[in-house]
Amino acid sequence: MRPPEALPTYEEGPPTGTELEPGPPPEVPRDPSRIAWTRRRASAGRIWRTYRKNTLGMIGLAVLILFALVAIFAPLLANKEGLKATCPCNGIPFSPPSLQYPLGTDNYGRSVLTLTIWGSRVSLTVGLLATAISMVIGSFIGIVAGYRGGVSESVLMRLTDWFLVIPFLPLAIVLASVLSPSLGVIIVVIGITSWPSTARIVRAQVLSVKTRPYVERSRALGASGWHLNTRHILPNVGPLIFANTILTVAVAILSESTLAFLGLGDPLSTSWGTILENAFGTGAAYAGQWWWIVPPGLAIVFVVLAFTLCGFALDEILNPKLRQR
Amino acid sequence: MSVLSVRDLEVTYATQAGPIPAVRGVSFDIDKGEVLGLAGESGCGKSTVVNAILRLLPAGATTSGEVLLNGEDVLAMKAGRLRAVRWTGASVIFQGAMHALNPVQRIGDQLAEAIVIHKLSAEREARLRAGDLLEKVGLPPRRLRDYPHELSGGQKQRVMIAMALTCSPSLIIADEPTTALDVMVQAQVLSLLNELQHEMGLAMLFITHDLSVLVEVCDRLAIMYAGKIVEEGPSGPVFDEPAHPYTEALAAAFPAIGDARFRKSPSGLGGDPPQPDAIPAGCSFHPRCPVAFDECATVNPDLYEAGERRRAACLLVKQAAEVPS
Amino acid sequence: MSEPARAEPAAPSDEDPVLEVQDLHVTFAGRVGLGAGVAGKKAAVSRAVDGVDLTLGRGEVLALAGESGCGKTTLARTIMGLETPKQGQILFMGEPLGTSTKVLREYRRRVQIVFQDPTAALNPRQTIYESVAEGLRIHGVTSQDGMSEEKLVARALARSGLRPPETFFLRYPHELSGGQRQRVVIAGALVLEPEIIVADEPVSSLDASVRGEILKLLLGLRDDFGIAMLVVTHDLGLAWTIADRVAVMYLGRIVEIGPAEDVLTRPLHPYTKALLEVVPEAGGLNRPYLSGEPPDPTRIPEGCRFHPRCPEVSSGAAASAGVEPKCLGEDLGLVELQPGHFAACHLAAARQGEAVSTTSD
């Protein structure tokens, strides 16, 4: 039997077989309090490298970047005056694609290409803003309900259920009739009908993280609720929220297009939905004026598809169980 | 003829990081009525050996060698014959067996299923037989109508034992059958296994990391480390007077209460059991071995004679064998 | 005939005990469906800790042993402040634990916990440095003994046997082995220089060959820094290896407590005897074991709570000693049957009384 040795102090002693496998020596930052930042950068780098390998995800990202650029640089790509019905730059109404008007013209003679390019701004902006509202409300309620439990959780979850069952379309119609139709109304309607599903997902994840031993350890160390939530729960719930956000944007854009198509949108703004509304309103489908319907339709499809692909790719990265073996 | 005869079994898993050798040449025999214990820690390959015997490994694992079950080579069997042999030739009590029960099916149905699949009896007789088996493992036959959640941990384990017996196999493989159980329940289950094994003349392969349990139940022991057997022999002598330094270290982790040598002097090995993708050169145990010398880093020892029906893979044993007595 | 002394089990050290638990009760309420509740059915209350008195001396290692359901984990967690007791109090350094957050925070600094599963006890998204420094940051310790946070973390890692400590700073838990992870958890506890460490099954999820080293580390911490330890375990072999005293729990009560050598080699309570007999050894399988499952804390038997499973009752030994009516009807606490060695057993007490009376005659 070997007698136990006295535990050596910090300064002395060769390694006792508890060293790590040799690997590249990690850089120790001079100020260990910056470790959190170093770690986050390294982590983001790792996620990016893994994401790059996902072909579909990269395609989605490329498409999104393309649309984002189009929306940002819209003034350079198309003449804003072309949105007005009375612009001298407009051509003959209902004309098919030609050199001057690559996607043809609508009932006012406006270039469909101009409309589609400028429409991207509204569609994307509304989608993003509505999602932002939905995410903030949903995450906050989900985290508070999951963390506090008890009566607060019950109350919040019943509230969530109530909003969950509000039918989307009737609410939109009601609000649009009560308030004058505008972008703000659309954003609010989409926001308040999509936060409940986020809240439920977030709450489930918080419940799962809350009981993990490392959170208990933190509690045992004397951590306050704020510390637990910001240091442990949020970082573990954050990725889920992010992946969910991406998918929600897709739904929001689709919703906006739907509402605008039904005539509940702002008649003075141009979005892909309003283009389609106008087209169908003037019977473009029966007249065979495909150049008017297809571009905005395809734009919606591509953007939603792109967001969905990105969302799936992120989901695979953040949820290892979904990865291929 | 032995019931089970394993010769030079090698199993390699194909992973993204390259092929990983989980089992690197394992050979042993089990005769009728004999209990062989296979001991080892995480990463040593014992669970892989279990799965290899009935070809239950995941896709992507390559197996070589011979596994003779009642004279037939399982690795060379065609699919149909393999299915027939599974459970009738050899059955397995899996690790975490308590979770291997279908929660929405009654116990009786699950037991009868095995019988019916192998066409040993019709449905009605299968139920009678299931009732008999439950009695054999110490549960009243009326429990046939229970769902798994109505049983305790120990009772579920008994059901798993009954399930292993349904087709009267000649070999039972028990993979960590008592690991998750309390000491008292563990004693009950071990006693039951012992009784059944003697009564039915079964051959048994008992896998665990708990050496003291093995010594109770098994006639012979084989200790695995890094994919190979490093010592084998009759269980009592192997535990009391180990020939291999690893066995000695492992045995020291299960102190005898009342023995003053173990009081206040815990001893263990530095470092950790090697993972299959990082096996040291030479003798795989040499980095942690308290009595290693130079040759150990370069020479990979075979199993040398170390006493009556005992062998150990250690250069010191080889040296001792070469010294004329 | 003299009565065996009835007293609270006191720590054998001369100094005041560092932790005292007095008449602690912790209960968990069950749940009852709406229909059943309306029908008047009450939820089954689980009396996880049902009246425990305990003292822990400075620098003492006390093992809390028992099967699952005996309440040892609940007791440890209550001592850590992770559960609230229904009744009773906990005294730290002679002062009762207050309920104010400020006092509790100070307590949580000086009493640390080491969990069973080191993998789950470390946040997988945080580096080792951050996990160890967390305690310092929660308590706002930026420097101590003239050492910066970085040096304190390095010192704690080194004391846990991880050297050189700087190479571990930026690693993640999944890059370390099980034994190393447990050392990190221990370092996280050490960094605040606690007086007590509560270890819940500290080595049961580790490989067998690694356990000895971790146990050696824990003993070393007691020897070098005088840290008292409460080790919760189901493994009596572990208690034999490192404990000064052993307390055996059953259904929420301590049924035997005393110096490890006494309790583990000359047990007085039938439950302890049963547990010891069941420890596997190179013997045979014909040793006696208790039948039935570990008991349910929602249905605690009358009288001595062990009597339904007690071999002395079922074999008739209790009857022939004349204590069977007491076993069935009279609940009892710990009684000092030998110096420092307490047991809650009518039969053992009766036999001790006889032994005393025969020697005094």
- Residue B291 located in a structural domain: yes
Question: Is C280 in CB contact (< 8 Å) with chain B?
Answer: yes
> Does the residue B39 lie in any domain?
no
Contact B183 C278 (CB under 8 A): yes
Choose among C112, C121, C166: nearest Cβ to A213.
Answer: C121
Question: What average pLDDT score do residues B132-151 get?
Answer: 89
Measure the CA–CA gap between A68 and C155, rounded to whole angstroms.
Answer: 51
Q: Say if strands C111-114 and C196-200 run parallel, antiparallel, or are unpaired.
A: parallel
Parallel, antiparallel, or unpaired: how do β-strands B35-39 and B220-225 relate? parallel
Query: How far is it, in rounded angstroms, from Cα C94 to Cα A65?
Result: 66
pLDDT-based confidence at residue B58 (cuts at 50, 70, 90): confident
Q: Are residues B288 and A16, on separate chains, in Cβ contact within 8 Å?
A: no
Two tokens at C327? 């076993």
pLDDT for position C243: 93
A318 reaches C (C-beta below 8 A):
no
The mean pLDDT of C204-230, rounded to a whole number, is 90
pLDDT at A28 over 60: no
Residues 75-114 of B with CB under 8 A from C: none
Mean pLDDT across chain B, nearest whole number? Answer: 87
Q: Residue B160 pLDDT more than 60?
A: yes
Q: C307-339 burial string, b = 16+ CB within 10 Å, else e?
A: bebbbbbeeebbeebebbebbbeeebebbbbbe
pLDDT score, position C231: 95
pLDDT at residue B16 tops 80: no
More confident residue, B39 or B307: B39
Hey, of C181, C207, C229, which one would you mutate to test binding to chain B, going by the most B CBs within 10 A of its CB? Answer: C207
CA distance B184 to chain C (A): 7
Q: Is C197 part of the contact surface with chain A (CB cutoff 8 Å)?
A: no
> Which residue is associated with the tokens 């229909």?
C35
Tokens (6 digits) for C8: 């609270």
Summarize pLDDT for A143-160 with one digit per residue, the tens: 999 888 888 889 999 999
Do B186 and B178 meet the contact criterion of CB atoms below 8 Å apart? Answer: yes
Q: Please determine, for residue A300, whether its predicted confidence score (pLDDT) is greater than 70.
A: yes
**Do C163 and A13 lie within an 8 Å CB cutoff?**
yes
For residue C4, whether the previous peptide bond is cis, meaning omega lies within 30 degrees of 0, is no
Interface probe, candidates C176, C210, C296, C310, chain B, greatest B C-beta count within 10 A: C210
- Look at the block and give the residue holding tokens 């006390």: C62
Structure tokens at B312: 């150990």
Confidence of residue A324 (pLDDT cuts 50, 70, 90): very low
Structure letter (DSSP) for residue A87: -
Determine, for residues C290 and B215 on separate chains, whether the beta-carbon distance falls below 8 Å. no
**Chain B residues touching residue C213 (CB < 8 angstroms):** 266, 268-270
- Who's near B239: CB < 8 A, 6+ residues apart? B211, B212, B214, B215, B221, B251, C282
pLDDT for the residue numbered A32: 60
B265:A21 CB<8 A: no
Burial profile B302-320: b = 16 or more Cβ within 10 angstroms, e = fewer: ebbebbeebbbbbbbbbeb
C10: closest CA of chain A, how far (Å): 27
| Distance from chain centroid for Cα B214 | 10
**Chains touching A, CB cut-off 8 Å, 3+ pairs:** B, C
Residue C105 in contact with partner chain A when CB distance is under 8 A? yes
Lowest mean pLDDT segment, chosen from B164-173, C108-117, C172-181, C314-323: C314-323
Euclidean distance between CA atoms C125 and B309, whole angstroms: 51
pLDDT, tens digit (0-9, with 9 covering 90-100), for C13-49? 456 888 999 999 999 887 666 666 566 666 678 888 9
Instruction: Using pLDDT thresholds of 50, 70 and 90, give the confidence band for residue B27.
Output: very high
State how far the Cα of A7 lies from the Cα of C75, in Å rounded to an integer.
30
Residue C7: band (very low, low, confident or very high) from pLDDT cuts 50, 70, 90: very low
B274 to chain C: closest CA residue: C177
Query: Tens digits of per-residue pLDDT, A205-257?
Result: 999 888 888 888 888 888 888 888 888 888 888 888 888 888 889 889 988 88
Instruction: Provide, as residue numbers in chain A, all residues whose Cβ is less than 8 Å from the Cβ of B260.
Output: none
Which CATH number is B231's domain given? 3.40.50.300
Residue C285 pLDDT: 56
CA A32 to chain centre: 33
Give burial (CB, 10 Å; 0-12/13-18/19+) of B256.
Answer: middle
Task: Output the CA torsion sign for A286, A177, A199, A151.
Answer: negative
The structural domain count of chain B equals 1
| C183–B contact, CB cutoff 8 A | no
Q: Which two tokens stand for residue B244?
A: 């291999």
- Residue B311's φ and ψ, nearest 5 degrees, are -140, 150
pLDDT bin (cut points 50, 70, 90) of residue A303 is: very high
Q: How far apart are CA C257 and CA A175, in angstroms?
A: 72
DSSP code, position A231: I
Residue appearing with tokens 């032994």: C355
* Separation CA B51–CA B9 (nearest Å): 12
| CB contact C296 to A (< 8 Å) | no
Q: Are A238 and A317 in contact (CB under 8 A)?
A: no
Which residue matches tokens 């449905």?
B123
CATH number of A54-81+104-319: 1.10.3720.10
pLDDT given at position C281: 63
Residue-wise pLDDT tens digits, A187-201:
888 888 889 988 999
Question: How far apart are the C-alpha atoms of B82 and C53, rounded to whole Å?
Answer: 60
User: pLDDT value at position C5?
Assistant: 41
Quote the CA–CA distance of B274 and B280 in Å, as a whole number.
8
> Which two tokens mark A95?
């004309």
Dist. CA B117–CA B81, nearest whole Å: 14
* pLDDT given at position C3: 39
Q: Where are the alpha helices (DSSP H) in chain A?
A: 35-52, 55-72, 74-77, 112-148, 150-164, 168-178, 183-210, 213-221, 225-227, 234-261, 272-281, 284-287, 290-318
**B15 Cβ under 8 Å from any chain A Cβ:** no
Q: Choose the closest CB to A4 out of B265, B271, B278.
A: B265
Neighbours of C299 (CB within 10 A): 10
Is residue A10 over pLDDT 70? no
Using a CB–CB cutoff of 8 Å, tell me whether C108 touches chain A.
yes
Look up the domain containing B241 and give its range: 4-31+45-77+208-322
Which amino acid belongs to residue A82? G
End-to-end CA distance of chain C: 9
Q: Does ipTM come in above 0.90?
A: no
**What single-letter amino acid sits at B294?**
D
Sheet holding C196-200, edge to edge: C111-114, C196-200, C228-233, C61-65, C245-250, C253-259, C341-343, C335-338
CA-atom Rg of chain C in angstroms: 22
Task: Quote the CA–CA distance of B111 and B114 in Å, as a whole number.
Answer: 6
- A53 Cβ under 8 Å from any chain C Cβ: no
Q: Does some domain include residue B123? A: no
**A80 pLDDT more than 70:** yes
What average pLDDT does this structure show over A65-78? 89
Q: Residues 6 or more apart from C53 whose CB is under 8 A from it? A: C8, C9, C21, C22, C23, C24, C254, C333, C334
Query: Chain C within 8 Å of A150 (Cβ-Cβ)?
Result: no
Chain C residues lying within 8 Å of B266, measured CB to CB: 211-213, 215-216, 219, 241-242
Answer yes or no: is pLDDT of C278 > 90. no
Inter-chain CB pairs, A–B, below 8 Å: 22
Q: Is C214 on the interface with B (CB under 8 A)?
A: yes
Residues in CB range of B225: below 8 A, 6 or more apart: B40, B41, B44, B246, B273, B284, B285
CA distance C253 to C51: 6
Q: Which of A215, A220, A214, A243 is closest to A146 using CA atoms?
A: A215
Whole-number pLDDT of residue A30: 55
Confidence band (pLDDT; 50, 70, 90) for C244? very high
The answer to whether C280 contacts B257, with C-beta atoms less than 8 Å apart, is no
Residue C198 has pLDDT above 90, yes or no: yes
**B·C CB contacts under 8 A:** 134
Tell which phi-psi region holds residue C319, choosing left (phi > 0), alpha (psi between -120 and 50) or beta: alpha
Residue C7 vs residue A271, higher pLDDT: A271
Q: Return the pLDDT at A160.
A: 92
DSSP lists the bridge partners of residue B61 as: B13
In sequence order, which residues have a C-beta less than 8 Å from that of residue A11 and are 6 or more positions away? none
| CB within 8 Å of A155: residues ≥ 6 apart | none
Question: Residue B173: what pLDDT?
Answer: 93
pLDDT of B219 > 60? The answer is yes
Rg (CA), chain A: 27
To which residue do tokens 């979850």 refer?
Answer: A157
Do residues B202 and B136 lie in contact, with contact meaning Cβ atoms separated by under 8 Å? no
C92 in contact with chain A, both atoms CB, cutoff 8 A: no
Does residue B173 belong to any structural domain of this protein?
Answer: no
In chain B, the largest separation of any two C-alpha atoms, in whole Å, equals 67
* Per-domain boundaries in chain A: 54-81+104-319
Look up the pTM and report it: 0.80
What torsion, rounded to 10 degrees, do the Cα atoms A162, A166, A171, A175 define?
10
C319 has a pLDDT exceeding 90: no
* B40 close to B253: Cβ distance less than 8 angstroms: no
pLDDT digits (tens, 9 = 90+) for A266-287: 878 888 988 898 888 888 888 8
Closest CA to B236 of C236, C289, C277, C284: C284
Find chain C residues with C-beta within 8 A of A38's C-beta. Answer: 170
